């Protein structure tokens, strides 16, 4: 896959990327789509812009890959999926954390039912985002374009609820805001799955003095596991009633990271390329992306109205 062009509304940023990657730059997405006719466009823009940009690309017959979250509104996420369906193009929603070796082992253990009945699941995202982070751009910390700690910073962790454990039945949430922003920087979430398991999540961007932890703990009738570190990069507990040959890989799966984003992007891009070549199915398409968006919107509805929200949002 070759990079053929870049697009940005900031002329200085655009010029820098033109120079770095030696490709033409455009201030308008539609002009780039018309002139370059790319196979795929990667949307790395403010989240609230993803829907209109995805629909525009689809109308030009261009496949779409969007960073998280795919949208900040449920209706916009649905609109993206429908537009790409109607145009006959792929919609890829980046969930690179799923590619982490630690989470791949955890997923395998769940699929093999090594936990037995899962009783309780808990996630922590204890990171820090100072006011200067939000002050970098006017769109940061807004409901329309960014979303808060759940939707933006912890989006990939919310994704683990459905991907690992299964469909969610009910959601309860509470949030608070300390920074000078519109959205939440701290929140707690309670979950009940359709399979009867219970779970919770604690998120804050106020950890002092630096990012502390991104973790998931699963307690089952025949197994207990915890993947921790700053970004689910370290298997800290792995106990099951029956051993498997790949249990020896848990130390090798752990990796050192100075970034909370992990190293899953190259693997995700490989899947996209394989799909476009007709050699694979998408790891996470638009409908898969809607699952975590639905859970996020349910959490915000619960926090706003002070009530339990049942899924699905639409019947």
Can you give the pLDDT of all 315 residues of the chain as single tens digits? 799 999 999 999 999 999 999 999 999 999 999 999 999 999 999 999 999 999 999 999 999 999 999 999 999 999 999 999 999 999 999 999 999 999 999 999 999 999 999 999 999 999 999 999 999 999 999 999 999 999 999 999 999 999 999 999 999 999 999 999 999 999 999 999 999 999 999 999 999 999 999 999 999 999 999 999 999 999 999 999 999 999 999 989 987 766 666 678 999 999 999 999 999 999 999 999 999 999 999 999 999 999 999 999 986
Is the preceding omega at residue 209 within 30 degrees of 0, hence cis? Answer: yes
| Structure confidence at residue 264 (pLDDT) | 82
Neighbours of 50 (CB within 10 A): 25
Beta bridge partners of 43: 66
| Structure confidence at residue 315 (pLDDT) | 66
Residue 105 near residue 98, CB atoms below 8 Å: no
Residue 146 near residue 68, CB atoms below 8 Å: no
Residue 111 near residue 203, CB atoms below 8 Å: no
Residue 258 contacts by C-beta under 8 Å, 6 or more apart in sequence?
Answer: none
Apex 282 CA angle, 5 and 299, nearest 5: 95
| Structure confidence at residue 219 (pLDDT) | 98
Q: How far is CA 60 from CA 20, 35, 140, in A?
A: 27, 11, 29
In angstroms, rounded to a whole number, what is the distance separating the alpha carbons of residues 265 and 276?
17
Tally the residues of the chain: 315
Nearest alpha carbon to residue 302 among 147, 185, 174, 158:
174
The model carries a pTM of: 0.94
Start-end of H helices in the chain: 11-21, 29-36, 50-59, 74-87, 101-111, 131-134, 155-160, 250-253, 265-276, 286-305
| Structure confidence at residue 1 (pLDDT) | 79
| Structure confidence at residue 257 (pLDDT) | 66
Neighbours of 61 (CB within 10 A): 12
Nearest alpha carbon to residue 160 among 222, 101, 98:
98
Neighbours of 19 (CB within 10 A): 10
Tokens 């630096």 belong to residue: 210
Nearest alpha carbon to residue 146 among 159, 121, 162, 129:
129
């Amino acid at each position: 896959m070759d990079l053929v062009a870049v697009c940005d509304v900031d002329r200085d940023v655009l010029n820098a990327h033109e120079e770095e990657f030696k490709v033409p730059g455009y201030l308008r997405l539609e002009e780039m789509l018309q002139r370059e006719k790319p196979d795929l466009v990667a949307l790395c823009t403010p989240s609230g812009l993803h829907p209109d940009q995805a629909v525009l690309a689809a109308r030009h017959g261009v496949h779409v890959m969007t960073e998280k979250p795919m949208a900040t509104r449920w209706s916009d996420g649905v609109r993206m999926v429908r537009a790409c369906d109607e145009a006959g193009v792929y919609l890829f929603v980046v969930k690179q954390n799923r590619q982490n070796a630690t989470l791949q082992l955890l997923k395998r253990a769940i699929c093999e039912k090594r936990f037995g009945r899962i009783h309780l699941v808990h996630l922590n995202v204890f990171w820090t985002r100072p006011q200067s982070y939000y002050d970098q751009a006017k769109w940061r910390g807004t409901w329309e374009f960014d979303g808060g700690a759940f939707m933006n910073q912890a989006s990939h962790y919310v994704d683990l609820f459905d991907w690992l454990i299964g469909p969610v039945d009910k959601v309860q949430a509470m949030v608070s805001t300390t920074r000078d922003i519109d959205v939440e920087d701290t929140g707690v979430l309670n979950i009940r799955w359709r399979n009867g398991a219970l779970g919770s999540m604690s998120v804050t961007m106020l950890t002092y003095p630096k990012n502390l932890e991104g973790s998931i703990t699963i307690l089952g009738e025949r197994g207990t596991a915890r993947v921790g570190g700053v970004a689910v990069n370290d298997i800290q507990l792995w106990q099951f009633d029956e051993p498997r040959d790949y249990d020896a890989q848990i130390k090798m799966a752990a990796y050192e990271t100075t970034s909370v984003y992990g190293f899953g992007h190259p693997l995700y891009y490989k899947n996209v390329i394989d799909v476009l070549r007709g050699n694979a199915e998408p790891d996470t398409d638009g409908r898969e992306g809607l699952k975590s968006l639905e859970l996020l919107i349910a959490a915000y509805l619960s926090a706003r109205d002070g009530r339990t929200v049942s899924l699905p949002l639409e019947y």
